[in-house]
Structure 1
Amino acid sequence: MTLRIQSLCTDSTDPKVPADFWEKALGWRRTYEADDEIVLEPPAGSPEDGVSPDLLFLKVPERKEVKNRLHLDLRPEDRDAEVARLEGLGAKRVSVGQGPEVTWVVMADPDGNEFCVLRALRPDELTE
């Protein structure tokens, strides 16, 4: 069977808010925009182009009320520097019950969608 994930979809009362944030945070390109949906894709020609799922932001009438059931985990080279950069773009640190011993930082985009910034991979964890 051949099956691939085409898009990860995020509902929003204003799709422009999370789309603007994620476009800047990931450096992705906006490939489609209408009043009720916006699509972001990896940069053309990048290793992720045509491989990583698109991010699709959809307009819905209701606001987000509870913790996400699905979220993104981001793996930066420098966790603390990336957290600071994302805060500069409008993300906020949030608590979803994680303790102080965790190696990741839970954040929310400007629309309240949680995501995690993980620690950098150690050299022995890198694959060639």
Structure 2
Amino acid sequence: MSLVVSQLTIDCPDPTTLARWWASVLGWVQVEDDEPDDDEVEIAPPAGDATPWLFIRVPETKTVKNRLHVDVRPPDGSDQPTELARLLELGATRVDIGQGDVPWIVLADPEGNEFCLLRSTPAQLAAARA
């Protein structure tokens, strides 16, 4: 029997703000808690079809490149340029981590955590793998 990933935990100085930002980016919702706490905020997809993310308050800010990062893919019906414009409008910034000439775009969230915007949509990826 395999372990099941319960959630992805992200350390940050401001869990509420960062959780709201990522919920907006991903189209997710904040998971309501019986005991609301600004030190921990969880978000998840409305359909519950992906691993939730838990944002936890820590006193320090990010200082070096992430050891783990998120790759996001444009949804079917959209494309990389459209999603890039949306992410930049929401407050993402372009970053150079030495990636060179690659088909994905490296960005950072408002707290500086790197993530990649991939080029193909889920349907394009499925067609390429078929």
So what's the TM-score if we normalise by structure 1? 0.87
What is the CA–CA distance in structure 1 between the aligned matches of 2:27 and 2:66, rounded to whole Å?
A: 23
Q: Deviations over 1:11-32 (max 9, x none)?
A: 1111122111101001101014
Question: Structure 1: which 5+ residue stretches go unaligned?
Answer: none
Match of 1:93 in 2: 94
Question: Structure 2: which 5+ residue stretches go unaligned?
Answer: none
Match of 1:39 in 2: 42
Match of 2:65 in 1: 67
Deviation at 1:34, TM superposition (A): 1.2
Residues 126, 88 of structure 1: alpha-carbon distance in 2 compared, 3 angstrom cutoff: farther
What is the CA–CA distance in structure 1 between the aligned matches of 2:17 and 2:38, rounded to whole Å?
A: 12
So what's the TM-score if we normalise by structure 2? 0.86
Count, aligned residues: 121
Match of 1:78 in 2: 79
Identity between Structure 1 and Structure 2 (%): 47
Tell me which stretches of 4 or more aligned residues in structure 1 moved more than 2 Å: 121-124
What is the CA–CA distance in structure 2 between the aligned matches of 1:37 and 1:95, rounded to whole Å?
A: 30
Q: Deviations over 1:72-117 (max 9, x none)?
A: 1011140111011001111001011111x20000000111111000
- Compute the RMSD of aligned alpha carbons: 1.6
Match of 2:114 in 1: 114
Q: Is the 8 A contact 1:39 1:55 kept in 2?
A: yes
Higher strand share: 1
